[in-house]
Amino acid sequence: MTPTRTVEVAIVGGGPAGALLGARLARHGIDVTILERSPTWRWRASGVFTSPAAVAALGRADVPDEIVRRVAQPIPAMRLETSGGAVVRLTYGSEDGGPPAVGLDRSTLDPSLIEIARAAGAEVLEGVSATAIGLDSGRGTNRVAITTRSDDTERVLSVRIVVGADGAQSIVARAAGVLRPSRLPRRIGLTFHLPDERSTDMAVDARMCIIPDGYVGIAPVPGGRINIGIVLGPSWRDALRADGATAVAARILTGIQPSNDDDGRWRSAPPCEPIAGAWPLGGRVTRRAGDGWLLVGDAAGFLDPFTGEGLHRAVVSTEVAAAAITQACRGHTGAFGAYDRAMRRRFATKDLVSWIVQAFLSRPAAFEYAARRLAARPELRGTMGRVIGDLTPASRALDPRFLARLLAP
């Protein structure tokens, strides 16, 4: 098929990473088109609980304070609850007077970011799917085949730079040959909202409840709702296949015990929307950029939502990517290689911490032991919360002195 249009930068995916990158590039005077497959916003598997670092990053991306206040519900702490009864309350730096973590209303945030991109001058094509990517490395021209869902119209764009902002199973990463399976066992993620009858004036903790071969995240969000995020390992596949996601999720929630500020009445309420699933959850890439292409957000590698702070990483990736793309458009060679190296430097240590946490999760007795030590040692607990929240260098959690104090009886 002959290309019908030329575009300088095409961003595949109109989620937070794609929208924020599109806005940044448009402000630099770069011709950018965002391709979003959904004609209107719909709930899809995504995270809502995030640390103050992500809120600060949204501010650096010129997201107006009024929008951030409207979409973010302050959450005093994330309470990690193990199957053995340990409770670890992580406050993400607020114990030192910093701002709290938040639960995000993605139904308002995501469309707002798309409108910010439009207002900045980015072209946004909604209801348009990228169906094939042709990367002509070194030739300066890539091809993106797109289909408009409303009438199945097919076109091909001639694109100088293609950006994958389309999640952990990115079509751009596949085209570049850099997508690899996650090294973790294949897991499925289920997310949905339930109505929350508690007063919106109440500041209540989020919860992360460990269950056999999985965990459940519970976070209040604006609009009188609770977001439920369930991650399940391979042992749940037969139940999901036989009973369906709705029945399995309801069964899991009945086992979540009430807490001091959460009586659990929401457990029997009907979901606010159909359950959204993601499978396989997570992915990795061997590189985040190459000749004429670049990956941001979850497409640049997604390990696990347990410690990932995916939104913060996504926004930071757009900061670094916007600088690299701007340099490339001005003729600077090596800009994309520098982006790849910068992202590795920024997140390699945090990824190592996340792998260590996953190793403990796979060994319940070891995880229970470490959780009880954190629960009993406030200084170590504070450090771990700030590391997980990307508020302090992840190397702090790998310091031999920290590990010795954590693991010592």
pLDDT the model gives residue 150: 81
Q: What is d(CA 299, CA 260) in angstroms, rounded to the nearest whole number?
A: 38
In this structure, the answer to whether residues 41 and 114 fall within a common structural domain is yes
225-232: strand order across its sheet:
87-90, 78-81, 206-211, 214-221, 225-232, 188-195, 276-278
Apex 181 CA angle, 180 and 185, nearest 5? 160
What domain range includes position 384?
Answer: 352-407
Asked if the model's pLDDT at residue 309 lies above 80, the reply is: no
Domain boundary among 278, 307, 325: 278
Mean pLDDT of the 259-278 span: 87
Asked if the model's pLDDT at residue 305 lies above 90, the reply is: no
Q: What is d(CA 9, CA 107) in angstroms, rounded to the nearest whole number?
A: 27
pTM of the model: 0.94
In this structure, the answer to whether residues 14 and 149 fall within a common structural domain is yes
Residue 63 lies in a domain: no
Domain boundary among 306, 327, 350: 350
Mean pLDDT of the 136-149 span: 81
In this structure, the answer to whether residues 334 and 401 fall within a common structural domain is no
Asked if the model's pLDDT at residue 308 lies above 60, the reply is: no
In this structure, the answer to whether residues 209 and 269 fall within a common structural domain is yes
Q: Across all residues in the chain, what is the average pLDDT?
A: 92
Q: What is d(CA 89, CA 364) in angstroms, rounded to the nearest whole number?
A: 19
Contact between residue 300 and residue 165 where contact means Cβ atoms under 8 Å apart: no
CATH of the domain at 33: 3.50.50.60
Residue 334 lies in a domain: yes
In this structure, the answer to whether residues 39 and 146 fall within a common structural domain is yes
- Band of pLDDT at residue 43, cut at 50, 70 and 90: confident
Q: What is d(CA 13, CA 129) in angstroms, rounded to the nearest whole number?
A: 9
In this structure, the answer to whether residues 269 and 194 fall within a common structural domain is yes
In this structure, the answer to whether residues 117 and 35 fall within a common structural domain is yes
Mean pLDDT of the 67-87 span: 95
In this structure, the answer to whether residues 194 and 176 fall within a common structural domain is no
In this structure, the answer to whether residues 295 and 330 fall within a common structural domain is yes
pLDDT the model gives residue 138: 60
Query: Within 61-134, where are the H helices?
Result: 65-71, 106-120
CATH of the domain at 87: 3.30.9.10
Q: What is d(CA 360, CA 56) in angstroms, rounded to the nearest whole number?
A: 30
Q: Is 227 helix (H, G, I), strand (E, B) or coil?
A: strand
Give the rounded percent of residues in the chain with a pLDDT score beyond 70.
97
Residue 38 lies in a domain: yes
- Band of pLDDT at residue 137, cut at 50, 70 and 90: low
Mean pLDDT of the 131-155 span: 85
Residue 16: closest CA among 123, 92, 109? 109
Residue 64 lies in a domain: no
Residue 68 lies in a domain: no
In this structure, how many other beta carbons lie within 10 angstroms of the beta carbon of residue 332? 12
**Strands 49-50 and 87-90, bridge-based pairing:** unpaired
Give the model confidence (pLDDT) of 45-69 as tens digits. 788 999 999 999 999 999 999 999 9
Asked if the model's pLDDT at residue 170 lies above 70, the reply is: yes
Q: Count Cβ atoms within 10 A of the Cβ of residue 358 and give its class: 0-12 exposed, 13-18 middle, 19 or more buried.
A: middle
Q: What is d(CA 216, CA 196) in angstroms, rounded to the nearest whole number?
A: 17
pLDDT the model gives residue 136: 80
Cis omega before residue 274 (within 30°)? no
- In the chain, the amino acid numbered 118 is R
pLDDT the model gives residue 199: 61
In this structure, how many other beta carbons lie within 10 angstroms of the beta carbon of residue 359? 11
In this structure, the answer to whether residues 151 and 255 fall within a common structural domain is no
Residue 65 lies in a domain: no
In this structure, the answer to whether residues 202 and 80 fall within a common structural domain is yes
In angstroms, the Cα distances linking 405 to 381, 388, 401 are: 11, 18, 6
Proportion of the chain in helix, strand, coil states, percent, rounded to 5: 40, 25, 35
CA 313 to chain centre: 7
Contact between residue 225 and residue 206 where contact means Cβ atoms under 8 Å apart: no
- In the chain, the amino acid numbered 67 is I
Give the model confidence (pLDDT) of 211-245 as tens digits. 999 999 999 999 899 999 999 999 999 999 999 99
Contact between residue 101 and residue 48 where contact means Cβ atoms under 8 Å apart: no
Give one DSSP letter per residue of 21-79, joined into a string. Answer: HHHHHHHTT--EEEEES-SS----S---EE-HHHHHHHHHTT--HHHHHHHEEEES-EE
Residue 253 lies in a domain: yes
180 φ, ψ to 5°?
-130, 155
Mean pLDDT of the 64-78 span: 95
Beta-carbon contacts of residue 47 (< 8 Å; ≥ 6 apart): 229, 305, 308, 310, 311
- Band of pLDDT at residue 339, cut at 50, 70 and 90: very high
Query: Within 206-309, where are the H helices?
Result: 237-243, 245-254
Contact between residue 11 and residue 33 where contact means Cβ atoms under 8 Å apart: yes
Residue 58 lies in a domain: no
Contact between residue 398 and residue 353 where contact means Cβ atoms under 8 Å apart: yes
Q: Please give the tally of structural domains in the chain.
A: 3
In this structure, the answer to whether residues 247 and 126 fall within a common structural domain is no
